[in-house]
Chain A
Amino acid sequence: NAGVTQTPKFQVLKTGQSMTLQCAQDMNHEYMSWYRQDPGMGLRLIHYSVGAGITDQGEVPNGYNVSRSTTEDFPLRLLSAAPSQTSVYFCASSHTGAQPQHFGDGTRLSIL
């Protein structure tokens, strides 16, 4: 039972580069979310989705894009990486809003 799988686990980028953080879940969950976790600031919601084809912005969406073409996958795209985007990124999913969120192990991203 894989749960929520995030790849890569670690990544170093240069300022201005673009990349995609992958998130996949095998639980047939409708709800998926991306968070970033920074020291002293807790988890902040970047983007979320309540089903395939439906996405919306969270608290800190600037500089990030998402799409949800399938139920299983919810990739997060950094368009032009900036040092302020250095963080740990977590993907989470739940069957509905009434069900518990399950988290992946995170992607540790450093931007130089």
Chain B
Amino acid sequence: KQEVTQIPAALSVPEGENLVLNCSFTDSAIYNLQWFRQDPGKGLTSLLLIQSSQREQTSGRLNASLDKSSGRSTLYIAASQPGDSATYLCAVRRVTNAGKSTFGDGTTLTVKP
């Protein structure tokens, strides 16, 4: 059974700091990994999708990396802003059944002005 873990559960940083969020998964036979952002009381917004054959994806101040062999992904946020405060979730799809996704519990980020 695929298990996805995100550590830490919560993170607080001052504005302007660069930071890294972690996502680990137990089964390396993944199809892809997707990072999401969720604001309180809202739905999930897709940030980045990394296919299993890729090492990283970038969008603006965000950079996601994938090391499939070690079962890890990181989301790097450069020059953090108060507007980045949200919960960040990662989700993996399996090679054997891409219809199924397994989510981590998320990291709640607070960026202080």
- Shortest Cβ distance from residue A10 to the other chain B in the assembled complex, whole angstroms: 11
Considering only residues 42-72 of chain B, those with a C-beta below 8 Å from chain A are: 42-46, 49, 51
Chain B residue at smallest Cβ distance from A32: B99
- Shortest Cβ distance from residue A13 to the other chain B in the assembled complex, whole angstroms: 20
Question: Complex: how many Å from CA A102 to CA B34?
Answer: 11
Determine if B32 is an interface residue (Cβ-Cβ < 8 Å).
yes
Chain B count of residues within 8 A CB distance of the other chain: 23
A96-112 interface bits toward B, Cβ cutoff 8 Å, 1 = contact, 0 = none: 11111111111000000
Stretch of B12-20, B77-85, B103-111 contacting A (4+ beta carbons < 8 Å): B103-111
Query: B98–A96 contact, CB under 8 A?
Result: yes
Query: A45–B101 contact, CB under 8 A?
Result: yes
A residues in contact with B46, CB < 8 Å: 100-103
Chain A residue at smallest Cβ distance from B44: A103
Q: Is the interface of B mostly helix, strand, loop or mixed?
A: strand
Chain A count of residues within 8 A CB distance of the other chain: 27
Stretch of A14-22, A35-43, A72-80 contacting B (4+ beta carbons < 8 Å): A35-43
Interface centre among B44, B93, B99, B102 (most CB of A within 10 A): B99
Query: A42–B89 contact, CB under 8 A?
Result: yes
* Partner pick for B99 among A35, A56, A90, CB 8 A cutoff: A56
Q: Check A42/B99 contact, CB under 8 A, given A100-B46, A101-B91.
A: no
- Known pairs A43-B103, A49-B99 / 10 extra A-B pairs, C-beta < 8 Å: A33-B99, A44-B103, A45-B100, A45-B102, A90-B43, A98-B31, A98-B98, A101-B44, A101-B91, A103-B43
Contact sample, A vs B, 9 pairs, CB 8 Å cutoff:
A31-B98, A42-B106, A43-B44, A44-B103, A45-B101, A92-B44, A100-B34, A101-B34, A106-B43
Q: Which 6 A-B pairs have the closest CB atoms?
A: A97-B98, A42-B105, A43-B103, A103-B44, A103-B43, A105-B43
